[in-house]
Structure 1
Amino acid sequence: MSKRNNWENKQSARERLRAEREQQAKREKARRQFVVAGAVVGVLAIAGGIAYGVSRMSDGGGDKSTSAAWKAAAEQTLVKPANTAGDNGTEIVIGKKDARHTLEVYQDMRCPICSVFEQNVGDTIDKDVKDGKYKVSYRIGTFLDRNPQIAGTGSKNALSALGAALNVSPEAFSAYNKALYSKANHPEETKDDFSKDDVLLKVAQQIPALKGNAQFEKNVKDGTFDKWALEVSDTFDKAKDVTGTPTLKIDGKKLQVETANGKGVPMTPQQFGPAVAEHLK
């Protein structure tokens, strides 16, 4: 009995030891498989990160500074800002709805003459709109982005950011438009600074309604209204009698924007008022 029991005990111990070794081997195999799988996932994640980084580099790192990024924007689902009208939201009208007259303003956000014009008569237009003399219909183009000598994406990107401001309020749109055209903020025509989101967001901090506005900032960075900007630009291009910016019309009739002294020199407030009054007779 003792011997048999002793052998059986030894045999049982050996079987338990073998079973434990088999279990340990299985656990070790599973651990190696987990480590290998984790390494593969890590490599894929790194590769994915590199691919994402390259993708972001190719689209300007969020500043939408390449034509490829805007080709992709053309395929987006259209998102129209609040405070717009028309089928594609391309009608941007600021002022009292019951104003009898309409001032059409054709502009390009990179246009240096538009900048000077806004600096000269922008305050006069704001006062006239507030007084109900007329409402303003903005027609914004991006043709300067297509100029081979200064090609870029700043006109489109600034227009998209204006859409984000309009989504906040018409007042925010007007104030932001004025700020972008100001002498302190408007870049030279040859510099495509408006293609960079951080430049546009920095200017926006000067507008109380946009300063620290998380939704506005998100819409600019995400390009929420990029597709809309392209639609607005297409509408501008359909105006056959507009050959440059700024172009102004009162109730469809062209208003002389340049001074009589020289081509490309915008009129002063003293000249603008009488010219508008003449059309409103």
Structure 2
Amino acid sequence: MSKRNSQEAKRAARERLRIEREKQAKKEKVRRQLFVGGAVVGLLAVVGGIAFAVSALGGDDGSDKDWSAAKSAKLVQPANAEGEKGTTVVLGGKDAEKTVDVYEDLRCPACAQFEQQLGERVKKGAEADKYQLRVHLGAIIDGNFGGNGSKNAASALGAALDVSTEAFKEYHGLLYSAEHHPAESEDKFADNEYLLDVAKNVDELKGNKQFQKDVNKGTFDKWALEMIASFDDAGIEGTPTVKIDGKKIETNLLPTELEKLGA
């Protein structure tokens, strides 16, 4: 091998190594983003080393939906949304002095485990007016791994919120349930039929033609993007993230903090 060819081979090898290192660094960055919120110690059985391999992104399941059109669409706010651009979703305790903010990604498995273990308790505390509960939805997984599930499920929740706050609350819980939350390798929430199938378990949404129309038409797609933008503006680095009166609370400490609030 000539000296020139040898140098070229070495440069090519170094370039391949550089590219592989960048890929690994990106994977580690994403892992930290998704799981910096941590797990509830003693409650959440979060398995380490979860890999988010998104498959089958396209075809007839709705995952090839053109979300660029939603960016320029007219904003339609759900009837029961609050705040600027309707991006505040209050699930109880509107007049309470204390506030609890929950930041989640609908495709996030750690969020699903959080909701399965503590979701009902957090919501019941708000229903008892112990604090005002505000839910914020992001799309970290869509952004880092591809797919539309986080955005599409947020839009469907907007359609549920347009029906009632109670419908949103129940549907939100079902989407995170062990029965209906998909594996991290599946972008099922990008499929409108799957979202509507889950909604059949909510009395106010079952057979609700307007709700079905809004989900299929994407009536609240623009609202979902505004919700996600608000989430991003809050500087959230990982999900789930919980704040009480604006102060971030580690999820392993949340049960104790809820007790202090009487929940």
User: Structure 2 length as normaliser, TM-score?
Assistant: 0.74
Matched, 1:243 2:237: yes
TM-superposed CA distance for 1:236, in Å, is 0.4
Match of 1:276 among 235, 258, 262: 258
Secondary structure of the structure 2 residue equivalent to 1:107: strand
Secondary structure of the structure 2 residue equivalent to 1:138: strand
TM-superposed CA distance for 1:87, in Å, is 2.5
Q: Which has the higher contact order (CA 8 A, sep 6+)?
A: 2
Match of 1:109 among 93, 106, 113: 106
TM-superposed CA distance for 1:73, in Å, is 1.3
Matched, 1:183 2:181: no
> In structure 2, what residue type is equivalent to 1:207?
V
| Alignment partner, residue 139 of structure 1 | 136
CA–CA separation in structure 2 for the residues paired with 1:179 and 1:206: 8
CA–CA separation in structure 2 for the residues paired with 1:127 and 1:223: 30
TM-superposed CA distance for 1:100, in Å, is 1.3
> In structure 2, what residue type is equivalent to 1:193?
K
CA contact (8 A) 1:250 1:276 kept: no
CA–CA separation in structure 2 for the residues paired with 1:229 and 1:95: 21
TM-superposed CA distance for 1:277, in Å, is 3.8
CA contact (8 A) 2:131 2:261 kept: no
| Alignment partner, residue 115 of structure 2 | 118
Give the percent of matched residue pairs that are identical in Structure 1 and Structure 2: 48
CA contact (8 A) 2:96 2:130 kept: yes
Q: Which runs of 4+ in 1 moved over 2 A?
A: 275-280
Matched, 1:195 2:190: yes
CA RMSD of aligned residues (A): 1.9
Match of 1:224 among 219, 224, 247: 219
CA–CA separation in structure 2 for the residues paired with 1:205 and 1:278: 37
> In structure 1, what residue type is equivalent to 2:215?
V
Distance 1:279 1:208, change over 3 A: closer
CA–CA separation in structure 1 for the residues paired with 2:75 and 2:142: 21
CA–CA separation in structure 1 for the residues paired with 2:226 and 2:59: 22
Match of 1:209 among 194, 204, 209: 204
Structure 1: runs of 5 or more not aligned? 1-58, 260-270
CA–CA separation in structure 2 for the residues paired with 1:169 and 1:160: 14
CA–CA separation in structure 1 for the residues paired with 2:178 and 2:133: 22
Secondary structure of the structure 2 residue equivalent to 1:249: strand
CA–CA separation in structure 2 for the residues paired with 1:251 and 1:276: 12
Match of 1:166 among 161, 167, 173: 161
> Deviations along 1:192-231, whole A, 9 cap, x unmatched?
0000000000000011111111100000000000011000
Secondary structure of the structure 1 residue equivalent to 2:84: coil
User: Structure 1 length as normaliser, TM-score?
Assistant: 0.70
Q: Which has the higher helix share?
A: 1
> Deviations along 1:63-122, whole A, 9 cap, x unmatched?
5422x6100111111111111112311111111321111110000000000000000011
Number of matched pairs: 206
| Alignment partner, residue 15 of structure 1 | none
Matched, 1:90 2:87: yes
CA contact (8 A) 2:105 2:140 kept: yes
> In structure 2, what residue type is equivalent to 1:80?
Q
